[in-house]
Amino acid sequence: MSTIVDKKLILNKIKDRYKFKSDSEFAGFLGIKPTTLSSWHSRNTFDIELLYSKCVDIDPVFLFTGKGEVSKVQSVVNEPETVYRLKTDNNIESQSVPLYNIEAAAGIVTLFRDSKELKPIDYIQIPNLPKCDGAIYVSGDSMYPLLKSGDIVMYRQHDLSSGIIWGEMYLVSYDHGGDEITSVKYIKRSELGAGHIKLVSQNQHHQDRDIELSQVRALALIKASIRINSMS
C-alpha cells in the first residue's frame, strides 16, 4: 500500500526555507498565480518539475517524499563552492585568490585598476578552480536563491572589447546618473538592439534592466561562489 505524500507540508516547508512572508510572494517567485498555489494546497499536488527548477537548493529526496532535510546543504560553516565554468576554462591545481572589501576600494573600477596596490582582507585557497583574479562579498538579493547577501563570488576580469559571452553571470559596474552601480547579473542580448545589454536577475521580484554598453565601466566573469552559513 503506497503512502500519500503530504505535498501541502512540502510546499509550506519550502516557503519557510526561502522566508517568503505570504503565499502570494511564494507564487510570484515560482512564476504562477496565487490561485494556482491555492489549488495545489487544496488538491495535495504541485508541479514538481517547476519546483525543482526554481528551488535550486532543495533536496530532491525531500521534494519527492517530504522526508529528510529540506535543503541539500546542511548547516555548516563553509559550504563547498559552486563553480561556473566555460568550455575554455582550465583548472588550476592551486591558486591563492585575494578577497577584497569592495566598499573600501570604492567600487570595482578602482578595485580592478589598483588591485596590486590594495591590501586584501584575506586570501582564499581552493584547488582545481578556473583562473580567478579576485573575490568579493555579495550584497543584496537580486540573484537569490542562487546567491544571497554575504556569499563570496570569485571573478575573472573581462575586457569589454573582447565581446560579451551572452547568458553568463557577470560582476558588472555601470554608470547611473553619475553614480557607479555594482551588481552581479546575467548579461543577455537586449531587445533594444546593438549598443545595449540586458541585466537579468535570478530573483524574479527584480525587474530586468536594459542599459547602453557605453554605461558599462567594468566587467568580470563570475567563476565560483562560496556560501557561509551560521551554525546557530
Enclosing H/E stretch for 97: strand 96-99
Q: Do the Cβ atoms of 39 and 47 come closer than 8 Å?
A: no
pLDDT in tens, 128-149: 889 999 999 888 888 988 888 8
The rounded percent of the chain whose pLDDT value lies above 90 is 30
Q: Do the Cβ atoms of 32 and 2 come closer than 8 Å?
A: no
Domains, the chain, in order of start with CATH, read 7-65 (1.10.260), 82-226 (2.10.109.10)
pLDDT in tens, 57-109: 787 788 888 888 887 644 334 455 788 777 778 888 888 999 988 775 567 88
How far is residue 46's CA from residue 216's CA, in Å, rounded to a whole number?
Answer: 42
Average pLDDT over residues 15-37: 87
**Residue 103, CA atoms < 13 Å, CB-side half-sphere:** 3
**Cα dihedral value 206, 210, 215, 216, nearest 10:** 70
Query: Is pLDDT at 212 greater than 50 in this prediction?
Result: yes
